[in-house]
Amino acid sequence: MKEKDIRPKKLFERYLYLSNLDIKKYFNNTKEKINCIACGKKGKFSFKKKNFSYCECSNCRTLFVNPRPKRQAFLDYYTKSPSVKFLANSFYKKTKESRRKAIWKPKAKMIFEILKKNRAKNWSCIDIGGGNGIFAKEILKLTKSDVIVIEPSPFLANECRKNKLNVIQKFLEFVKKKDLPSNKKIFTCFELVEHLHDPSKFIKNVRKLMNKGDLLALTHFLVLVLIF
């Protein structure tokens, strides 16, 4: 896989242009000082980029933005911003096939193998931050299990509906157990953790939705983590 296959230069430059505008609109005015998002210890200033200050934790060396934009800024960005709308309506559509082959098909096979290893029958796959639903469609090709996409962006959720996928248009913290099937589930989350306002709170919210025996498979920079 080459970067140009999933990020054509002109499309990606347009996305970066819109992102820079969105930074000024959504993230520059409401910020709060925080400690390390991983261990809670204090951090030391490391560098500044695009008006965001980055600190390195003195304890675990996690790099994090500090001060951090407030939660509402994240909510507004993912549901209203032109750059996210561009991802849904242009960027992802024009790179759909290359991304399906290079990224989502292998991930679907990986999750299917996990389910086979656990002798899973009648499980549901809950894909958190499922975007336009390409992974959901790929996993449906491999298993008869139900697949539900949790996607807060109205632009991306609408793409899922166009593909006749079952989608919950909510941020994870607003999803309730009653929104999900009662059978055993595998929750999937791909390259999302690094974009979150509060990763620790996110994991705790996922845990509240899980029943005994459920699985959580998440990737962070292509590192697979399994939680039982």
Q: Please tell me whether residues 216 and 133 are part of one structural domain.
A: yes
- Does 1 score more than 70 pLDDT? no
Q: Which three-class secondary structure state does DSSP give residue 188?
A: strand
Q: Please tell me whether residues 49 and 106 are part of one structural domain.
A: no
| Residue 211: domain span | 95-227
Q: Please tell me whether residues 38 and 134 are part of one structural domain.
A: no
Q: Please tell me whether residues 123 and 217 are part of one structural domain.
A: yes
C-alpha–C-alpha distance, residues 53 and 44, integer Å? 10
Q: What is the dihedral of CA 22, 34, 56, 173, to 10 degrees?
A: -60
Q: Please tell me whether residues 112 and 88 are part of one structural domain.
A: no
Instruction: Write out the two tokens for 218.
Output: 């998440």
- pLDDT number for residue 199: 87
Domain closes at, from 38, 58, 93: 93
Fill in the amino acid letter for 71. Answer: R
Note whether 195 and 136 are within 8 A (CB).
Answer: no
Domain closes at, from 31, 64, 93: 93
Q: Please tell me whether residues 32 and 104 are part of one structural domain.
A: no
- Does 224 score more than 70 pLDDT? no
Q: Please tell me whether residues 100 and 77 are part of one structural domain.
A: no
Domain closes at, from 53, 76, 93: 93
The DSSP letter of residue 218 is: E
- Does 160 score more than 80 pLDDT? yes
Q: Please tell me whether residues 117 and 69 are part of one structural domain.
A: no
Q: Please tell me whether residues 87 and 26 are part of one structural domain.
A: yes
- Does 226 score more than 90 pLDDT? no
Q: Which residues contact 45 (CB under 8 A, 6 or more apart)?
A: 53, 54, 55
Fill in the amino acid letter for 98. Answer: S
pLDDT tens, residue by residue, 76-126:
999 999 999 999 999 998 999 999 999 999 999 999 998 888 776 788 999
Q: Please tell me whether residues 111 and 83 are part of one structural domain.
A: no
Domain count for the chain: 2
* Percent residues over pLDDT 70 in the chain: 96
Q: Report the chain's C-alpha Rg in angstroms.
A: 18
Q: Please tell me whether residues 89 and 103 are part of one structural domain.
A: no
Pick from 187, 136, 193, 182: nearest CA to 159: 136
Q: Please tell me whether residues 187 and 108 are part of one structural domain.
A: yes
